[in-house]
Structure 1
Amino acid sequence: MLDKDAHSHHISQQFNTELDAVKTHMMEMGGLVEKQVSDAVFSILNADSGMAETVKERDKLINAMEVSVDDECARILARRQPAASDLRLVIAISKAVNDLERIGDEAGKIATQALALAEAGEPSKGSVEIRMIGEHVGRMVHDALDAFARLDVDKALEVAREDKLVDAEYGTAMRSVMTYMMEDPRSISSMLNVLWSLRSLERVGDHARNIAEHVIYLVKGKNVRHVGLTELAKHVEQ
């Protein structure tokens, strides 16, 4: 098992500095992505086209941050040829920033739907579902990043469990949206915007779970992608 001080005892202080820096840069990117999700949800709930435009514009910065962190990881791999837990750290960061970039993309998609709804006027239905799932996946992103920062596999496992709940909430929300559309065909256009936003939020939850799985891989050295919650819990407990 990896402890929290495992990356601070290298003979080369420069190597320690490089590892700390790339992790810090990943967490900075994570903070911005977390804000993107929150702002995107705000923009669609409040028909705020200005906020939506800001979210879309900031996506370029997130893309640039992903490239930068990936480049840092590549340089460390090439120059330091890390092994064991150091290698897992670099790999986990590289994978996590990819998931963060994808979360940023989903926030951008939600902002696009917010712009469409703002043009048509604030939607009267669907906001309850967006708010509920938006807040839920927002907490998941925050907790996944916190688990990574603290190397907390228990919190990572909890994020994975929350993803299961989000999937159930998403199914319920989709049925509600379909009901709104059948009851009032005039709402179909706006409800489609809501539907695509809900789909993006569900994907945010998926990527938050991925980040949590990277934490378990980093700490336990076990590749836990594509495993069920029961097996995931066994890996955490071992």
Structure 2
Amino acid sequence: MDITSDIHSQHISRQFNQELEELKTHLMAMGGLVEKQVQDAVAALLDADSSLAQRVVDNDRAVNDMQIKIDEECTRVLARRQPAASDLRLVLAVIRAASDLERIGDEASKIARNAIDLINADNGSRGFVEVRMISEHVRRMVRDALTSFARFDTELALQLVHEDDEVDNEYRTAMRSLMTFMMEDARSISSILNVMWILRALERIGDHANNLAEYVIYLVKGLDIRHSDPDELDEQGLSRKG
């Protein structure tokens, strides 16, 4: 059975409804912090700002703390309310989404640490064009994934499932280009490896944004699509909301 954005307003217990809304609110706050972490990590690299990169590394603890708080809130809801049907799906989706957001935060921290190494080495900016392009794509995916969760928008979520393949293709193309350059100039190996790790982190961020989109479809439609072909999902009409 589908759910809509206002189904949770139908509870007899107003407090239960408030608890569910707070779960979503706290998840969106965590998402906003994580999105900024990714933005700042990439900006630190492109602007050679080591202090900003270090702040990203330091702020990872705040991301972890937010996940722990959300998990504790979800546990209390499960224990006290024993939710069923769509309410249970919401709580489970929040738990899963918080885990993926924490992993995105980890990847942002990896980007920042590699940025610090590159800034300290001062070995040029080879690969930065690819970093900028892919980072813009995955940051948009994270933002849209959070929007789709907030709005229970399965149409937007399904678009993101398709976009993950595009990011994977961009990543493979960038890696081939950098490997060629590395083979042509052995002196660049160390710095290019750092850039490759950054690109890998960005690709993983795209994967986690894709996971968030899948949770939206699970939440709204009650379907687990983790191992499904996106084209088959189109044929099933999952791009239609509600």
TM-score, normalised to structure 1, is 0.98
- Superposition map of 1:72-151 within 5 A: 72-121=73-122, 123-151=124-152
| Structure 2 partner of 1:68 | 69
Query: 1:54 corresponds to which residue?
Result: 55
Residue 217 (structure 2) aligns with? 216
User: Shift of the alpha carbon at 1:123?
Assistant: 2.6
Q: For 2:7, what is the secondary structure of its paired residue?
A: coil
What code does the residue aligned with 1:177 have? L
Deviations 1:140-179 (A, max 9, x none): 0000000000100000011111111000000000011101
Alpha-carbon distance in 2 for matches of 1:180, 1:109: 23
- In structure 1, C-alpha distance between the alignment counterparts of 2:185 and 2:12, rounded to whole Å: 68
Cα shift at 1:235: 5.8
Structure 1: runs of 5+ lacking an equivalent: none
Which sections of structure 2, spanning at least 5 residues, go unmatched?
none
Task: Say if 1:123 and 1:22 are closer, same or farther in 2 by CA, change over 3 A.
Answer: same
- Structure 1 match to 2:201: 200
**Greater displacement, 174-183 / 191-200:** 174-183
Partner of 1:236: 238
Query: What is the CA RMSD across the aligned residues, in angstroms?
Result: 1.0
In the alignment, which residue of structure 1 is the partner of 2:22? 21
Amino acid at match of 2:45: I
Identity of paired residues, percent? Answer: 60
CA shift at 1:209, angstroms? 0.2
Q: Is the Cα–Cα contact under 8 Å of residues 158 and 238 in structure 2 kept in the other structure?
A: yes
Cα offsets for 1:177-206 (capped at 9, x unmatched): 101101211111000000000000000000
Structure 2 contact 158–239 (Cα < 8 Å) conserved: no
Q: 1:126 to 1:237 in 2, by over 3 A?
A: closer
Compute the displacement of 1:237 (Å): 4.6
Q: Distance in 2 between matches of 1:225 and 1:235?
A: 17
Q: How far is 1:229 from its partner?
A: 1.0
User: What is aligned with 1:10?
Assistant: 11
Give yes or no for contact 2:160–2:213 (8 Å, CA) kept in 1.
yes
Dislocated runs of 4+, deviation >6 Å: none
Q: Give 3-state SS (helix, strand or coil) of 1:11's partner.
A: coil
Of the structure 1 ranges 225-234 and 171-180, higher mean CA displacement relative to structure 2 is found in 225-234
Sort the Cα spacing of 1:170 and 1:62 in 2 relative to 1 into closer, same or farther, 3 A: same
Report the TM-score when normalising by structure 2: 0.96
Displacement of 1:226 after TM fit?
1.7
Aligned length: 238
1:46 shift after superposition:
1.8
What secondary structure sits across from 1:227 in the alignment? coil
The 2-side partners of 1:55 and 1:237 are apart by 36
1:86 corresponds to which letter in structure 2?
Answer: D
Deviation of 1:215 after TM superposition, in Å, equals 0.1
